[in-house]
């Protein structure tokens, strides 16, 4: 299937929001967003970043059938590699079907997440994230200093997760990260572990396709992920009475290597197309949404770019999504691959340490800093 860019006005749709019923207002109040009849200003986006209630559905958004991976048909695989390369270059995002992840694993994480988030705040806060315990439940995340209309639960796929204790380059201490599991839902542990293993398998296959699409050997990236530092996030976006002012997740790029997202059938993910338009990714049953993270951008020396995205909220329906963030080992130095640079196309980035990069990002989760959090652009070599 081809990635096409069609004219935005052709795909414009009205989502026809109705007034939020009182009952839903109450459920949204669990996040305590409404003070004195007004939405807490912490959630309100600057006017230029507010979502549009009428949106463009990205009809040209690439949908890639991975079935050739399960056959031994060389020319079909070649076609697939081309499709992946084109999608990475033109969108930085694509959906995959026939990916080999058993549907039951996805259904299980979906149903367990629903059970988890419907518990009282008091129960969920028993497994809440703190500065020391950085995994678990969290409902006050901010993206670019505006609060997100969501609650999340974070899990590392391989335990213990290892990250530097601080962003300070001279501090060699490594922190071990352990998952926190809720007592009221003991099966969540196995569900997430199983799902995580499936995601790792899929991510490795996708990396083989990405490597081939860059003219590299299929296994070129594998060694970076030997001690991978990947995690799963369960996202719950409650109904929001003012979806025109707030976002479930504010605009951002993913800092890791590759993200694989499962979204439910409500929809809300928007991707910034290369022409600058925000387009909505239409939910496709049992498809996964894949996006290039900042690390692929650096490895490929900007051939594939990490793209901004955000999640809209809905006045009537709650929404769930489950991103899997595939990240290399903390000790990995990220820099443009030598095979992809030469005199005409010199490296555009200085090498940086992945663990220190995440440690710096984590610190800004807990302290309101006046500076922008660390970005790959800070390592860009000026022309
Ligand atoms: O929920 C979504 O659709 C997007 C979530 C996302 O981008 C993230 O958690 O990084
Ligand atoms: Fe994201």
Choose one of 263, 264, 323, 324 to mutate for the ligand 1 pocket test, by most ligand atoms within 8 angstroms of C-beta: 323
Give the pLDDT confidence score for residue 54 in this predicted structure.
Answer: 67
Its ipTM equals 0.99
- Looking up tokens 């004195």, which residue turns up? 36
Give the pLDDT confidence score for residue 363 in this predicted structure.
Answer: 74
Give the pLDDT confidence of 230-274 residue by residue, as tens digits.
999 999 999 999 899 999 999 999 999 999 999 999 999 999 999
Mean pLDDT of 209-236: 97
Strand, coil or helix: 19: coil
Spatial separation of the C-alpha atoms in residues 192 and 198, rounded to whole Å: 10
Whole-number percent of the chain with pLDDT over 90: 75
Mean pLDDT of 158-171: 94
What does 190-244 look like in DSSP terms, one character per residue?
A: HHHHHHHHHHHHHHHHHHHHHHHHTTS-TTTTGGGGTT---EEEEEEE---S-TT
Distances (CA, A) of 359 to 185, 221, 319, 381: 30, 23, 29, 22
Give the pLDDT band (50/70/90) at residue 229. very high
Q: Which of 73-77, 150-154, 332-336 has the lowest mean pLDDT?
A: 73-77
State if residue 311 touches ligand 1 by the CB under 6 angstroms criterion: yes
Give the pLDDT confidence score for residue 18 in this predicted structure.
Answer: 37
Cross-sheet strand order for the sheet of 63-65: 63-65, 93-97, 288-292, 258-263, 319-326, 231-237, 151-156, 136-138
Q: Is the pLDDT of residue 324 over 80?
A: yes
Give the pLDDT confidence score for residue 24 in this predicted structure.
Answer: 40
What does 136-189 look like in DSSP terms, one character per residue?
A: EEES--EETTEE-S-EEEEEESSSSEEEESSS-TT---EEEE-----TT-TTHH
Q: Is the pLDDT of residue 15 over 70?
A: no
**Cβ–Cβ under 8 Å, residues 235 and 248:** yes
Handedness of CA 41, 45, 47, 51 (dihedral sign): negative
Q: Is the pLDDT of residue 332 over 80?
A: yes
**pTM (two decimals):** 0.89
Whole-number percent of the chain with pLDDT over 70: 87
**What atom in ligand 1 is closest to the CA of residue 269?**
3
Give the pLDDT confidence of 98-126 residue by residue, as tens digits.
999 999 999 999 999 999 999 999 999 99
Q: For the chain, first and last CA: distance in Å?
A: 37
State if residue 263 touches ligand 1 by the CB under 6 angstroms criterion: yes
State if residue 249 touches ligand 1 by the CB under 6 angstroms criterion: yes
State if residue 80 touches ligand 1 by the CB under 6 angstroms criterion: no
Within 10 angstroms of residue 11's Cβ, the number of other Cβ atoms is 17
Give the pLDDT confidence score for residue 131 in this predicted structure.
Answer: 81
**Cβ–Cβ under 8 Å, residues 301 and 341:** yes
Q: Token digits for 136?
A: 């678990």
State if residue 235 touches ligand 1 by the CB under 6 angstroms criterion: yes
Handedness of CA 34, 40, 43, 49 (dihedral sign): positive
Give the pLDDT confidence of 31-67 residue by residue, as tens digits.
655 554 567 888 898 888 888 766 777 778 999 999 9
Give the pLDDT confidence score for residue 10 in this predicted structure.
Answer: 33
């Amino acid at each position: 299937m081809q990635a096409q860019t069609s004219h935005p006005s052709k795909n414009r749709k009205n989502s026809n929001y109705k007034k939020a019923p009182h009952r839903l207002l109450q459920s949204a109040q669990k996040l305590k967003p409404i003070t004195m009849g007004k939405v807490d200003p912490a959630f309100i986006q600057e006017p230029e970043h507010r979502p549009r209630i009428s949106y463009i559905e990205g009809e040209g958004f690439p949908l890639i059938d991975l079935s050739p991976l399960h056959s031994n048909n060389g020319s079909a695989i070649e076609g697939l590699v081309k499709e992946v390369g084109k999608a990475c270059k033109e969108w930085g995002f694509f959906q995959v079907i026939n990916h080999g992840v058993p549907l039951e694993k996805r259904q299980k994480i979906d149903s367990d997440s629903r059970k988890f988030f419907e518990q009282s705040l008091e129960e969920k806060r028993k497994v809440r994230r703190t500065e020391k315990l950085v995994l678990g439940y969290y409902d006050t995340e901010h993206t670019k200093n505006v609060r997100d209309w969501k609650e999340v639960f974070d899990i590392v796929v391989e335990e213990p997760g290892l990250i530097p204790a601080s962003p300070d380059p001279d501090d060699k201490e490594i922190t071990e990260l352990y998952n926190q599991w809720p007592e009221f839902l003991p099966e969540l542990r196995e569900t997430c572990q199983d799902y995580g293993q499936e995601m790792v398998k899929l991510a490795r296959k996708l990396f083989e396709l990405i490597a081939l699409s860059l003219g590299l050997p299929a296994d070129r990236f594998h060694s970076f992920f030997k001690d991978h530092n990947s995690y799963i996030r369960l996202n719950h976006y409650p109904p929001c009475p003012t979806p025109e002012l707030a976002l479930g997740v504010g605009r951002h790029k993913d800092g890791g290597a590759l993200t694989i997202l499962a979204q439910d059938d409500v929809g809300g993910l928007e991707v910034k197309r290369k022409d600058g338009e925000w387009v909505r990714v239409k939910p496709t049953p049992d498809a996964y949404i894949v996006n290039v993270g900042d690390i692929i951008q650096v490895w490929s020396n900007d051939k594939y770019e990490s793209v901004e995205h955000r999640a809209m909220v809905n006045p009537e329906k709650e929404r769930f999504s489950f991103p899997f963030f595939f990240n290399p080992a903390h000790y990995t130095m990220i820099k443009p691959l030598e095979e992809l640079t030469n005199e005409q196309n010199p490296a555009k980035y200085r090498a940086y340490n992945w663990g220190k990069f995440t440690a710096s990002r984590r610190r800004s989760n807990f302290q309101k800093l006046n500076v922008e959090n660390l970005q790959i652009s800070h390592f860009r070599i000026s022309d």
